[in-house]
Amino acid sequence: MAMAKIGVLMTCPMLSYLEEESKRFNLFRFWEASSKSEFFTRNSDSVRAVVGNAFFGAESELIDALPNLEIVSSYSVGLDKIDLVKCKERGIRVTNTPDVLTDDVADAAIGLILATLRRMCVADGFVRRGLWKNGDFELTSKDSGIFGAPLGIAHQITLTRRLLRISIIKWGA
């Protein structure tokens, strides 16, 4: 006799590679259910796992409706949409992906800060409209160094390299 597939309730659309897990698991797509109460009537006993993200997790009502729930997994950093107290009371394991995008988000933030401080988007428009022919575009003020003291390019690069954790492989010709 073949073993029944474990029921996994997906609370939101997932990446396509996660959908491939239907070969091993019985995937329930909660967002496709026409009626939540009808879904629970038909399937609540079959669901042993819930997979969601930072926006669609496992809140108290959902957990209460799934008597055989064993694990809740969030493929995001946040746990705000998971009732951790309820999970602890019922002995339901909870997983997430802490720090999975920490470096990427920090890099994007630094990029946006630099783009804003150096007016990169405005400068891009200046060049694209051909305004560079009419005069210079000032990227920064004269006192952009630390405590108002101007710094040389090499020193600025060194500070930026250390800040961004970049290794210089080769310098010069």
| Residues 15 and 54 occupy one common structural domain | yes
Question: pLDDT-based confidence at 148, cuts 50/70/90?
Answer: low
pLDDT at 118: 79
Is the pTM higher than 0.85? The answer reads no
| Residues 146 and 73 occupy one common structural domain | no
pLDDT digits (tens, 9 = 90+) for 52-81: 998 899 999 999 999 999 999 998 888 999
| Residues 74 and 123 occupy one common structural domain | no
Range of the domain at 155: 102-164
Whole-number Cα distances in Å, 155 to 139, 158, 161, 162: 18, 5, 10, 11
Whole-number Cα distances in Å, 65 to 31, 41, 49, 68, 99: 16, 9, 12, 9, 31
| Residues 52 and 13 occupy one common structural domain | yes
Give how many domains the chain has, as a whole number: 2
Task: Identify whether 51 is part of a domain.
Answer: yes
**How many residues appear in the chain?**
173
| Residues 108 and 141 occupy one common structural domain | yes
